[in-house]
Amino acid sequence: MTVDPNAKYLATHEWARKEGELVVFGISDHAQESLGDVVYVDLPKVGQKFGAGEIFGVVESVKAASDLFAPLGGEVIAINEDLAKGPEAVNHDPYGAGWMVKVKPADLSQWESLLSPADYEGKAE
Question: Per-block average pLDDT, block size 10, for the chain (125 residues)?
Answer: 95 97 97 96 98 98 96 98 98 98 96 96 82
**Residue 32 DSSP symbol:** H
Domains in the chain, start-ordered, CATH in brackets?
A: 15-105 (2.40.50.100)
Give the separation between CA 56 and CA 100, rounded to whole angstroms. 10
CA atoms 54, 112, 17, 20: torsion sign: positive
Whole-model pTM? 0.96
Strands (DSSP E) found in the chain? 8-9, 14-19, 22-27, 38-42, 49-50, 55-61, 65-69, 74-79, 101-105
